[in-house]
Every structure is written in C-alpha cells, then in structure tokens.
C-alpha cells in the first residue's frame, strides 16, 4: 500500500501542476473546450484514485472542484477569475492534504467543509464574495472530535460525517449528463454510502470503500468523449494495484492528449531514482577519465592491434557519456510550469493585468542545474510582476497597452543555456538605486556620477540590496537579487540586467548545461597547471615582448588597455603566491580576460595550454577556505589540477588592488561606447587595404581616365558643372587607359574633391580598435579590419592638400577653440582633423574624467562638440555653462535637443562646420 501511495503522490503532484497551469490558460481562453476537458479529466482521475486508496478527504475536495468545473463544461456557469481562483484554492488544498499524506502516510484529520461549501455554492450559482481568501480547511474545534464515534479520531481515521459528506457529493457523479451519454446507463440506484449493502461485494461497504458500481461510473465518466482513447474500466476483480495502474495509464493518456493540443509534452517514460542516475553519472565520469588516460598513454604508439579497439572503446565511451548526460536532461518548461499560476496570483492580488509569454520550453538542461535555478527564476518572475510592471492605469497613461507582458525565453548557445526574463514595465529606477547604493555605503556619489546607468543598475545584485520601497507580500522581503545572483554564480552562471526607463527591464542568465562536466581552459603558471571554466573566459590577449598590448602601471596597480577601456590586471603568480609578478615588458605572457561578476578582469598567466572537458570534483574540506578555487579535477594524463574560481579571484583582486585603480577602470568605461563603424575598404598605391569611414564619403564615382584634365598643375574633372580636383590616394595611382577610374568624392561647403584609388574592395561594419603611431602623412593609424592590418586614411590631410591653392580660409580670424568630447576614440580622431582643417583648434577629450581635468585647468573654448550623453554630463557638472553645445550622434532623431544648440547627424560634416560657423557668427554679433 505504501508503494501505491507514493506512486499516487508522484503522479498526482504532476497532474496538479498541469492543472495549475492549464487553469490559468483556461481563464484566458474560457471558450477552449480542449483545455477544460483536459483539466476535468485530470481532476477526475485524481478524485477517482483517491477513492480507491481510501482517501475520502482528498476525494471530497477534488469532487467539489470537479463539480464546479463540470458546470463550466456544461456552460451553466460563466468562467470568471473569482471562480478560477476558487478552483485553484481547491487544488491548493489538495496539495496541502497530499503533503500531509506524504509526511505521515495518512490523511490529516479535519475536514474542508468551508471550502467545499463555497465550491458547492459556486456550482449552484450562489453569488460569491469576491475572492476573499479564506484559510482553507479551517480546523474545527475540538479538532478531530467525532460526534458519531463519541471519541476523538485516531490518526488515519475519518469522521463518519466526512465520509457521508464525501459520498453524498459523489452522488452528483451519477447524474452527470456527459457521463450518462457515453457510459452505460448507471443503474438507477443511488450510489451506495457507507454501511449500505453492496450487492456486488456481497457485504456492506466499509468506511473508505467505494461501491464497485460507483467506480465503474466514475471511470466511465472519466472518458466522456467517444473520440478519445478507449475508456479504461476498472472492474471489481482487479486488484487495487491493477486499478491504480489503469488510472495511471489513463493519466498518461491525458498527457498525450494534452501534448497533441500544445500543452506539456510527455513521452513514454520509466521512473528511475535520481540516485541511480547520479551513481551512473559518476561511474561514466570515471570511465571517461580512464579512457583519456589510456589514450594519453598510447599516444605515439603505432600499434594497430591496440589502436583499433581503443578507438572503438573511445567512441563507445563517448556515446555512453552522451546517453547518460541525456538521462539527466530535462526541459526547462518543468521549471516554468508553476510560473503561470504565480503570475496569475500576483496579478489578481495587486490588480495588474499581466501576460506571461514563454518561449523555448523544450530547451533542455541538466536536472541538477534545473533544480538550482527554479527558485531564482521564480523570484525574478515574481519581481517583474510585482515591481517591474505598472498598474493598468499608469500603463495607459504612459501610452502602453493596459496589459503588461513578461517574456521568458530560453535557448542554447555553445554549451550554455541563456535564459532571459524581460518585462515591458517601467524599468529600474536609476536614481533610487543610486541613492540606496550610496546609503548602504556600496559606493559614493562621486562614483555614481561617473557610472553608466547599467553599472548603477547592477547594484541590485549587491548583497543586502533591496529597493522595494514598500514591502509587499510577494517580494522584497530582504531576499533580493543578491540571492539570485549568488545562486546562479554557485552553478557557474552569470546574471546581468539591462533596463530602459519606461520601456522595461531585461534580465539575462547564462548557465552551463551541466555541472558535472565543463569545458575548461588549461593554463600554465610557474610549472603548474590550472583550469579555468570556459564560461568565465571572455577572451585571450597576448602581452609583452613583441605584442601590441601591454600592461601599464597605475600607482602600483596594473591595468591594461583593451579596446580603449582600462581593465584591472592581476597576476596569477601574485594571487597564488607562487613567485613574483611577471615582468610583462620582457616576457611574453597571456592575459585571460575573465568575466568576474559582470566585469572584466585580466589574469596574467605564463601559458595557455589547452582546452579540455573536465569532470568537476568538489574541493576537499581542508581547502574550502581558499577563495581562489572552485574545485579540482583529474586531467587526461592522470594529474590532479585545481580549478580557479573567477569570482574568488576577483575577490582577491579587490583586496590586493588599490581602490583607486578600480575607480579608474570604472571611469574609463564611462559610456561604454563600442559602436561599429561602416568602413570602405579600398586599395590604392599598394597591395595592403586602406580604410575610409563611409560616413565621410559623399559619393563613389567612376570616371573615364580620358576625362581627367590637368590645369594649374593639378588633376581635375568636370563634375556637376564644377571643377573637382583629383588627388591620388597613396603614392601614385595608376590610371589605366580604357579602364574606369574609381573616385571617392568628398564634398564640403559646396566644394568637392575626388580621391583616386586603384580599387574599391569592400564595405565592412566593424568596431575599430585604432592603433596609433603613424607618422606617415595621410594616415591616421592602423587597425585590424577583417583580420588584416589596415591603414585608416586621414581624409582631412587630403582635403588640405587639395586646397593648397585655395584662398586660405579665415586667416584673418582668430582660430576658434573647440572642445570635442566623444567616448569613441575613433570618432574623435576622425572628426578632430576635419574640424582643424576647417579652421578650428580642437581639444579632444575621451571621457568625463578628461573633461574634468581640462575644466580644472580653466581652459576656455568657443563651443562644445560631442556625443549628447557626454555633453549632458558636462552640463550637469556645471562646466562652461554658457557655451554653445553641438551634439553629433548617429541617431539625431532620438536625441533630446533640449538645452543643446544643435543636434546633427555624425555623418554630416558640412552641416557641422556650417553650424559651427553660424554659432561663431552669432557670438561675434553678440
């Protein structure tokens, strides 16, 4: 019986979860018969099984819920949220009872009269108090005292009154119209109660038993639709076990039906204990290691007698590993199943309208990982529903649809699973987070001023940080996103947030598919090897002798410039105390760029050796105090190596590094501009490619070389009724007779020049990491574009060349001074010479930090040019309050022009110069 009960518990728990989510679906689609039928069948089976196993209390609740559902099905009652809440309440109560059953093996004493009464009233159409949540199953005083017995109930006993009530309720069964249609007409006898004589049994029915006739009726009615699977009838000569199996089979049938209708997908399954799988996994892991060792040993031996079988062994082991891994995989939908219910409850409780979209249900991941992310996910979805989304009226005011959306999605990406939780709510309150972070001493207001919004938002992951101004029942009980982050990091995952005020918040989680075997980078440090989980590795950079990257020192702390951002550098030798820090000026070394809690940290190592799939073994208890490690592993050659923990290392870094350095690093990333540039690749005077920012080129033309004339020692062509000077790019451009000559046309202030090139190669979109250091005229510097070192052409120099004979502009005027602020170094280097060519003295500044320095030096300017965000920050700092400010941006239409003199597209040079001239004129007049 015990086995039966436990099997019943498992099956029922699954059915109830399905019912939960199906009910929520049903509430949104009250006309969908298929959903309702499914719910009805599931609940009915639960009820039926309860009857068999002699669980009257459960049965009574299930029955009452079912009756109400029956009314929906027959169209006698309209589906309303309070009604659904009521049915959900009955499901909850069943869960409570099941939990008690699981703990004690018997149904708890007491009854559920209040709940049943409400369910019955609802079924009868009696008006309901609008969802006043009552404590279900209020225990009556004295609890368990049975008037019929004249004594208190012993555990496991059920009061006679309860039984009567249960069987009375069961009566409804017999007159169920749907059942009556399909099932053989039940005998007109009323169902038998306890103490009644059952002719089929040949004796009276004992408490807890159900008459066979009634059972038949129950199971017949479980299959009301003739189109469904053939009804499984449980007959009196079946043992209880057989009966249960039939019931279970029926349940599976329901699953299958649900699957075909887009509900949860269930395949043919065998139940296997988790411990069995775990043991199997461990054994297979060992097998994999042994295989690896064997392979290593025979490497280099050319013996076909060994090689053949060994290769087969290797392949079979691989297959076995894959197979075992698969047994551990579960669709993420399993972790999501409870969410629709949770979202529904939140939306009812706080009066919001919420739609939960789920995408990628079938994405599979390791069972263990799934268990560990269930709670964080639930918490985050609840947060989004409770805090993220606004009240309907606020949404309407903000011009958004009344119904808020939470979108969950999951997909695989290179051995990881990416889960995102996005809402279209109000977004994070940057100011409040900043205030709170300052209040909690996590940062200072100076630092906050230099941070990007995203950096501020990340404070929500800081320990003990909870922004909910009002503590609600649902979330904000002090356990906040820091717990979520800790949980996710524990399984080697990372979580990040991005949020736009008024548009919503987006959390993304990246976790490994499995914990048992991870892909790791094997690095060398002082004759020793260490493993770093690949998930944490962002990139590898070679530094030192002969490399373009170098490690610089900033007041003892070491930093490295990577794509124009400063990254703190830590030397593994130092962290582990194995020798001195590497002298990276002389020795070549590698920097492993690690993702440590959302920020980049560079780890200096001697060597990068290999990548290997490793089996993670837990740390010995004697080593748990060492932060730097997350575990150990045995490599293919049998040696044991330690697995480094990026987060632990970051912890070490903070303690070993000057705070100043981290601040600098944060300041350097101030606006995180990493935009891509569209570049025109050309070939001119040599094989190597040259690049010109496409935004500067007005037009691409081809001319017949014959049309190129020579006047006043210069090549010109007639172009749109004017003479356009032609300047060759590079040393000399060969004009081949009969072949058309490609020309890049640049126009500025009604004058155009043409740059002659040999060939136009390509247009690419890349992030330009400009390596400075060109003394050559006409070249700004070099960058790696499409994997090749490419010269970036200095257009301004050519413009000057072409104007050599022109009347010098503005010679009589004082040269005007401009401050050019743009976080993107490439933009600065492109625009500055152009403006200089137009007669301005340009001081470039990369970030607020530099601006601050310039301002403190009390330098004076005539105008400020830069990206809108930077200008905004300068103004908020109160520097140069009266100067004209001209914003250049790629998205002028999205930019708030308020407080700015002009907003211009970045690509429109002539407009910029015209505007500057205009501004200067005004100034002059003033």
Cβ 437 vs Cβ 451: under 8 Å: no
C-alpha distance from residue 183 to each of 118, 174, 218, 234, 237 (Å): 29, 10, 9, 13, 19
Determine if 275 is a binding residue for another protein (CB under 8 A).
Answer: no
Interface pick for another protein out of 5, 180, 289, 294 (rule CB under 8 A): 289
**Minimum CB distance to another protein smaller for 124 or for 640:** 640
Q: How far is the CB of 376 from another protein (least distance, A)?
A: 27
Q: How far is the CB of 157 from another protein (least distance, A)?
A: 44
List, as one string, the DSSP characters of 267-292: -------HHHHHHHHHHHHHHHHHHH
Interface pick for another protein out of 338, 407, 617, 875 (rule CB under 8 A): 617
Q: How far is the CB of 620 from another protein (least distance, A)?
A: 4
**Minimum CB distance to another protein smaller for 152 or for 286:** 286
Q: How far is the CB of 316 from another protein (least distance, A)?
A: 19
Alpha helices (H) along 589-674 = 646-656, 659-668
Q: Please list every residue from 93 through 122 that binds another protein, using CB under 8 A.
A: none
Q: How many C-alpha atoms does 559 have within 13 Å on its Cβ side?
A: 24
CA dihedral 182→187→188→191, nearest 10 degrees, is -100
Give the separation between CA 366 and CA 159, rounded to whole angstroms.
46
What are the φ and ψ backbone dihedral angles of 698, each rounded to 5 degrees? -80, -45
**Minimum CB distance to another protein smaller for 368 or for 920:** 368
Q: How far is the CB of 644 from another protein (least distance, A)?
A: 11
Q: Which stretch binds another protein (CB under 8 A): 14-22, 636-644, 685-693, 717-725?
A: 636-644
C-alpha distance from residue 364 to each of 327, 485, 510 (Å): 11, 21, 14
Determine if 732 is a binding residue for another protein (CB under 8 A).
Answer: no
**Minimum CB distance to another protein smaller for 77 or for 289:** 289
**Minimum CB distance to another protein smaller for 462 or for 575:** 575
Q: What angle do CA 324, 327, 332 make, to 5 degrees?
A: 135
Give the separation between CA 479 and CA 482, rounded to whole angstroms.
7
Determine if 297 is a binding residue for another protein (CB under 8 A).
Answer: no
Interface pick for another protein out of 439, 621, 765, 856 (rule CB under 8 A): 621
Interface pick for another protein out of 622, 655, 711, 860 (rule CB under 8 A): 622
What are the helix and strand counts (H, E) for the chain? 27, 38
**Minimum CB distance to another protein smaller for 7 or for 613:** 613
> 445 Cβ partners below 8 Å, 6+ apart?
434, 438
**Minimum CB distance to another protein smaller for 540 or for 623:** 623
DSSP annotation of 609 reads E
**Minimum CB distance to another protein smaller for 632 or for 838:** 632
Q: Which stretch binds another protein (CB under 8 A): 473-481, 627-635, 735-743, 893-901?
A: 627-635
Q: Please list every residue from 60 through 79 that binds another protein, using CB under 8 A.
A: none
Determine if 638 is a binding residue for another protein (CB under 8 A).
Answer: yes
**Minimum CB distance to another protein smaller for 471 or for 623:** 623
Interface pick for another protein out of 126, 316, 540, 623 (rule CB under 8 A): 623
Q: Which stretch binds another protein (CB under 8 A): 146-154, 173-181, 573-581, 678-686?
A: 573-581
**Minimum CB distance to another protein smaller for 190 or for 293:** 293
Interface pick for another protein out of 576, 682, 835, 883 (rule CB under 8 A): 576
331 forms beta bridges with 364
Q: How far is the CB of 629 from another protein (least distance, A)?
A: 8
Q: How far is the CB of 645 from another protein (least distance, A)?
A: 12
Other C-beta atoms lying within 10 Å of the C-beta of residue 449 = 14
Q: Which stretch binds another protein (CB under 8 A): 223-231, 603-611, 615-623, 895-903?
A: 615-623
Largest CA-CA distance found in the chain, in angstroms, rounded: 125
Determine if 581 is a binding residue for another protein (CB under 8 A).
Answer: no
| # residues contacting another protein (CB under 8 A) | 24
Q: Which stretch binds another protein (CB under 8 A): 55-63, 256-264, 619-627, 739-747?
A: 619-627
Cβ 597 vs Cβ 564: under 8 Å: no
Determine if 632 is a binding residue for another protein (CB under 8 A).
Answer: yes
Q: Which stretch binds another protein (CB under 8 A): 118-126, 302-310, 372-380, 574-582?
A: 574-582
Cβ 598 vs Cβ 494: under 8 Å: yes
Give the separation between CA 436 and CA 442, rounded to whole angstroms.
9
Give the separation between CA 98 and CA 41, rounded to whole angstroms.
19
**Minimum CB distance to another protein smaller for 509 or for 641:** 641
Alpha helices (H) along 560-697 = 572-576, 646-656, 659-668
**Encoded tokens for 584:** 């990276």
List, as one string, the DSSP characters of 887-917: EEES-GGGS--TT-SEEEETT-HHHHHHHHH
Q: How far is the CB of 303 from another protein (least distance, A)?
A: 25
Provide the sign of the torsion angle of the four alpha carbons 459, 461, 462, 467, taken in this order.
positive
Q: Which stretch binds another protein (CB under 8 A): 160-168, 299-307, 630-638, 829-837?
A: 630-638
**Encoded tokens for 773:** 């250091």
**Minimum CB distance to another protein smaller for 473 or for 620:** 620
Q: Please list every residue from 477 through 536 that binds another protein, using CB under 8 A.
A: 528
Interface pick for another protein out of 168, 257, 290, 467 (rule CB under 8 A): 290
Q: Which stretch binds another protein (CB under 8 A): 222-230, 444-452, 498-506, 576-584?
A: 576-584
C-alpha distance from residue 127 to each of 118, 122, 131, 175, 333 (Å): 10, 7, 11, 24, 37
CB-based burial, 686-724: b 16+ in 10 Å, e otherwise? eeebbbbbbbbbbeebebeeeebeeeeeebbbebeeeeb
Determine if 795 is a binding residue for another protein (CB under 8 A).
Answer: no
Q: How far is the CB of 625 from another protein (least distance, A)?
A: 4
Interface pick for another protein out of 117, 412, 624, 815 (rule CB under 8 A): 624
Q: Which stretch binds another protein (CB under 8 A): 25-33, 67-75, 515-523, 613-621?
A: 613-621
Determine if 274 is a binding residue for another protein (CB under 8 A).
Answer: no
List, as one string, the DSSP characters of 111-154: --HHHHHHHHHHHHTPPPPTT----SSPPPSSTTEETTTTEEPP
Give the separation between CA 793 and CA 780, rounded to whole angstroms.
6
Q: How far is the CB of 654 from another protein (least distance, A)?
A: 16
**Minimum CB distance to another protein smaller for 634 or for 696:** 634
> 762 Cβ partners below 8 Å, 6+ apart?
680, 681, 786
Give the separation between CA 670 and CA 451, rounded to whole angstroms.
6
**Minimum CB distance to another protein smaller for 304 or for 621:** 621
Phi-psi region of 599 (alpha: psi -120 to 50; beta: other; left: phi over 0): beta
Cβ 440 vs Cβ 464: under 8 Å: yes
**Minimum CB distance to another protein smaller for 126 or for 623:** 623
Q: How far is the CB of 653 from another protein (least distance, A)?
A: 14
**Minimum CB distance to another protein smaller for 642 or for 726:** 642
3-class SS of residue 730: coil
Binding residues for another protein, rule: CB under 8 A, are 286, 289-290, 528, 576-578, 617, 620-626, 628-629, 632, 634, 638-642
């Amino acid at each position: 019986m015990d086995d039966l009960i436990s099997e019943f518990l498992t099956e029922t728990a699954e059915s109830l979860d399905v019912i939960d989510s199906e009910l929520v679906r049903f509430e949104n689609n009250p006309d969908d018969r298929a959903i309702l039928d499914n719910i009805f069948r599931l609940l009915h089976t639960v009820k039926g099984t309860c009857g068999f196993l002699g669980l009257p209390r459960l049965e009574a609740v299930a029955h009452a819920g079912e009756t109400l559902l029956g009314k929906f099905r027959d169209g006698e009652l309209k589906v309303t949220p309070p009604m659904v809440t009521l049915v959900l309440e009955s499901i909850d109560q069943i869960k409570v009872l099941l939990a008690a059953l699981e703990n004690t093996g018997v149904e708890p004493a007491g009854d559920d009269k209040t709940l049943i009464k409400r369910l019955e009233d609802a079924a009868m159409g009696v008006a309901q108090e609008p969802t006043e949540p009552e404590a279900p199953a209020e225990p009556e005083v004295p609890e368990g005292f049975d008037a019929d017995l004249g004594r208190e109930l012993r555990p496991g006993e059920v009061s006679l009154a309860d039984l009567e009530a249960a069987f009375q309720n069961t009566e409804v069964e017999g007159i169920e119209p749907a059942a009556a249609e399909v099932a053989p007409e039940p005998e007109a006898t009323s169902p038998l109660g306890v103490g009644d004589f059952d002719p089929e049994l040949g004796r009276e029915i004992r408490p807890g038993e159900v008459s066979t006739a009634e059972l038949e009726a129950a199971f017949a009615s479980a299959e009301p639709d003739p189109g469904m699977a053939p009804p499984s009838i449980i007959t009196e000569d079946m043992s209880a076990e057989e009966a249960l199996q039939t019931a279970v089979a029926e349940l599976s049938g329901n699953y299958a039906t649900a699957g075909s209708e887009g509900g949860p997908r269930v395949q043919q399954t065998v139940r296997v204990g988790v411990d069995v799988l775990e043991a199997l996994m461990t054994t297979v892991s060992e097998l994999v290691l042994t295989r690896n060792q064997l392979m290593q040993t025979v490497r280099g031996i050319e013996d076909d007698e060994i090689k053949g079988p060994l290769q087969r062994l290797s392949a079979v082991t691989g297959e076995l590993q894959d197979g075992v891994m698969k047994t551990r995989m579960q669709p993420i939908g399993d972790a999501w199943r409870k969410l629709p219910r949770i979202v529904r409850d939140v939306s009812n409780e706080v009066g919001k309208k919420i739609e939960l979209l789920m995408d990628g249900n079938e994405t599979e991941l390791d069972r263990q990982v799934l268990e560990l992310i269930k709670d964080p996910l639930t918490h985050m979805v609840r947060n989004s529903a409770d805090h993220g989304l606004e009240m309907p009226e606020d949404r309407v005011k903000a011009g958004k649809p009344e119904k808020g959306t939470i979108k969950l999605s999951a997909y695989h990406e290179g051995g990881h699973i990416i889960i995102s939780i996005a809402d279209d709510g109000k977004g994070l309150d940057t100011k409040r987070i900043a205030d709170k972070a300052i209040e909690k001493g996590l940062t200072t207001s100076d630092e906050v001023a230099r941070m990007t919004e995203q950096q501020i938002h990340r404070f929500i992951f800081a320990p003990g940080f909870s922004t909910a101004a009002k503590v609600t029942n649902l979330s904000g009980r002090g356990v906040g996103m820091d717990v979520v982050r800790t949980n996710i990091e524990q399984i080697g995952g990372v979580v990040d947030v991005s949020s736009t005020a008024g548009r919503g918040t987006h959390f993304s989680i990246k976790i490994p598919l499995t914990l048992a075997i991870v892909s790791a980078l094997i690095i060398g440090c002082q004759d020793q090897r260490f493993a770093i989980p690949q998930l944490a590795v962002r990139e590898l950079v070679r530094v030192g002798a002969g490399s373009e990257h170098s490690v610089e020192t900033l007041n003892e702390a070491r930093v490295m410039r990577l794509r124009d951002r400063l990254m703190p550098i830590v030397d593994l030798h130092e962290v582990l105390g194995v020798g001195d820090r590497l002298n990276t000026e002389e020795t070549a070394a590698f920097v492993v760029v690690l993702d440590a809690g959302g920020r980049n940290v560079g780890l200096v190592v001697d060597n990068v050796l290999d990548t290997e799939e490793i089996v993670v073994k837990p740390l010995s208890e004697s080593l748990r105090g060492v932060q730097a490690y997350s575990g150990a592993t045995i490599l293919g050659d049998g040696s044991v190596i330690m697995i480094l923990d990026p987060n632990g290392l970051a912890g070490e870094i903070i303690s070993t590094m000057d705070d100043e350095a981290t601040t600098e690093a944060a300041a350097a990333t101030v606006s995180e501009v990493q935009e891509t540039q569209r570049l025109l690749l050309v070939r001119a005077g040599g094989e190597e490619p040259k690049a010109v920012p496409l935004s500067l080129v007005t037009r691409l033309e081809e001319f017949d070389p014959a049309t190129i004339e020579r006047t006043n020692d210069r090549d010109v062509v007639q172009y749109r009724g004017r003479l356009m000077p032609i300047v060759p790019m590079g040393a000399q451009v060969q004009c081949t007779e009969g072949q058309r000559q490609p020309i890049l046309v640049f126009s500025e202030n009604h004058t155009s020049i043409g740059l002659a090139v040999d060939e136009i190669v390509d247009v690419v979109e890349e992030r330009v990491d400009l390596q400075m250091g060109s003394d050559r005229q006409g070249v700004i510097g070099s960058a790696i574009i499409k994997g090749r070192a490419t010269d970036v052409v200095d257009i301004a120099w050519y413009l000057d060349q072409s104007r050599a004979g022109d009347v010098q502009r503005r010679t009589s005027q004082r040269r005007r001074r401009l401050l050019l602020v743009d976080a993107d170094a490439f933009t600065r280097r492109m625009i500055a010479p152009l403006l200089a060519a137009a007669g301005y003295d340009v001081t470039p500044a990369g970030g607020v930090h530099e601006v601050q320095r310039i301002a403190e030096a009390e330098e004076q300017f005539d105008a400020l040019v830069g990206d809108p965000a930077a200008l905004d920050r300068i103004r908020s700092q109160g520097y140069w309050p009266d100067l004209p400010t001209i914003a250049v941006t790629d998205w002028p239409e999205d930019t708030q022009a308020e407080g700015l003199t002009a907003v211009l597209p970045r690509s429109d040079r002539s407009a910029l110069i015209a505007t500057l001239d205009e501004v200067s004129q005004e100034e002059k007049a003033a």
